[in-house]
Amino acid sequence: MITAVVFDIGETLTSDTRYWADWARWLGVPQHTMSALVGHVLAQGLDNAEAIRILRPGCDVGAEWRARQAAGQGDHLEESDLYPDVRPALQHLRDAGVWVGIAGNQNAAVTGLLRGLDLPADAIATSGEWGVSKPRPEFFDRVAEWAPGDRRQIVYVGDHPANDITPAKAAGLRAAHLRRGPIGLTAAAQDADWTVDSLTELADLIIRQLS
């Protein structure tokens, strides 16, 4: 029986479209160029921060992020950043008695931004808070300690096979691959328990298993 579902953040709950548009404005390049570079590095299996280093070779991406913060152009989240199926799917799961968590690779400030959206979730955490990020096994150990139930009763949901699905399965969790965003749509997750095209589909699937 599934007791908890824990969701990744970027390209699972939130679209990265505006995030990279903000970086494009900061770096002074067209949004199309920024998007193309992000797609290029992701296709090579590299961290998406490499797109910034292509534009500014040798730069400290963390320092650039802090400079944006200081200039009042730091991270923020808006309702429009959420995919349309997020609120109804999370609420559907909670109404069915499933514990809903949100945990992904984000800086600690994003925790507060997500809480400010008042999502139907029981708990929210980020790698910045935990001090460990995906795909390291310790991240998924934290998920297993944090969410109720034993590991086979916890489902981790994400778009990235290498960062989300494979390490979640290696940690003994169940995993759902969401075909969303550039990675989710192009990289297969053969070891996923489920592959879905929307969170609505996933919520319905899980709730059917509870009945």
pLDDT digits (tens, 9 = 90+) for 151-181: 999 999 999 999 999 999 999 999 999 999 9
In 3D, which of 208, 210, 195, 207 has the Cα closest to residue 157?
195
Query: Alpha carbon 126 to chain centroid distance?
Result: 10
- The pLDDT score that the predictor gives to residue 13 is 97
- The pLDDT score that the predictor gives to residue 62 is 83
In 3D, which of 44, 20, 35, 8 has the Cα closest to residue 186?
44
Same domain, 66 and 99: no
Same domain, 83 and 130: yes
Q: What is the pLDDT of residues 180-196, one digit of tens each?
A: 998 888 888 999 999 99
Residue tagged 């040798």 (tokens): 58
What one-letter code names the amino acid at 196?
V
- The pLDDT score that the predictor gives to residue 75 is 76
Q: What is the pLDDT of residues 59-98, one digit of tens each?
A: 888 888 788 878 877 777 899 999 999 999 999 999 999 9
Rounded Cα–Cα distance for residues 192 and 156 (Å): 10
Q: What's the angle, vertex CA 102, arms to CA 50 and CA 181, rounded to 5? A: 45
Question: Residue 27 in contact with residue 49, Cβ under 8 Å?
Answer: no
- The pLDDT score that the predictor gives to residue 30 is 95
Rounded Cα–Cα distance for residues 127 and 64 (Å): 19
- The pLDDT score that the predictor gives to residue 203 is 98
Q: Is the pLDDT of residue 131 over 90?
A: yes
- The pLDDT score that the predictor gives to residue 155 is 98
What pTM does this model have? 0.91
Compute the 3-state secondary structure of the chain and give helix, strand, coil in percent, each to the nearest 5: 50, 15, 35
- Domain residues for the domain of 61 are 17-70
Round the average pLDDT of the chain to a whole number and report it: 93
Three-state SS at 32: helix
Cα 147 to Cα 10, 94, 204: the distances in Å are 20, 14, 20
Structural domains counted in the chain: 2
Q: What is the pLDDT of residues 12-52, one digit of tens each?
A: 999 988 888 988 999 999 999 998 998 888 877 777 889 99
Please state, as a whole number, how many other Cβ atoms lie within 10 Å of the Cβ of residue 131. Answer: 10
What one-letter code names the amino acid at 162?
A
- The pLDDT score that the predictor gives to residue 130 is 96
- Provide Rg for the chain, Cα atoms: 17
CATH code for position 186: 3.40.50.1000
Question: Of 52, 70, 88, which residue is a domain's last?
Answer: 70
Same domain, 9 and 100: yes
Rounded Cα–Cα distance for residues 96 and 184 (Å): 27
Same domain, 64 and 128: no
Q: What is the pLDDT of residues 90-127, one digit of tens each?
A: 999 999 999 999 999 988 888 999 999 999 999 999 99
